[in-house]
Amino acid sequence: MNNIMKYKGYWAEIKYSDEDECFYGIVEGLKNSSISFEGTTVKELKKDFKDAIDYHLQYCKEHNEEPEKQCKGSLNVRLGVELHNKARMKSIEKNISINELIKDAIVLYLKMN
């Protein structure tokens, strides 16, 4: 089951509130903005999601602001000492940076799944 909705480069995990009897989502990873949406049907949910994204983009345009990206392209990863050592040694063997090694591993993992 796919619980992620995507539109114009933004994505959100879809959840269900039994109490409110509706689907909802929040665009994650934004520090300066909040984009949320909901709907009692999938059709309503999709429409509200698209409307929320379009509103956000229009607001940014009208206020000469650059729309915020969800992911910046960098992150800290806590590997633990043993895995960190193994990764560093492998990166030396392959003559690449540890960052490149981790990137390659993630690309390979995503292709397999």
Question: What pLDDT is recorded for position 47?
Answer: 98
Question: What pLDDT is recorded for position 1?
Answer: 53
Ordered by start, the domain boundaries in the chain are: 4-62, 81-112
Q: Could you list the mean pLDDT of each consecutive 10-residue stretch along the chain, which spans 113 residues? A: 88 95 94 93 97 96 93 89 96 95 94 84
Question: What pLDDT is recorded for position 73?
Answer: 85
Picking from 80, 82, 83, 87, the residue whose alpha carbon sits closest to that of residue 102 is: 87
Hey, which residues does 36 pair with through a beta bridge? 26
- pTM listed for this prediction: 0.75
Per the document, the length of the chain is: 113
Q: How many angstroms separate the CA atoms of 82 and 78, rounded?
A: 11
Strand segments (E) across the chain: 4-7, 10-17, 22-27, 36-39
Question: What pLDDT is recorded for position 16?
Answer: 95
Question: What pLDDT is recorded for position 54?
Answer: 97
- CA–chain centroid gap for 25, Å, is 13
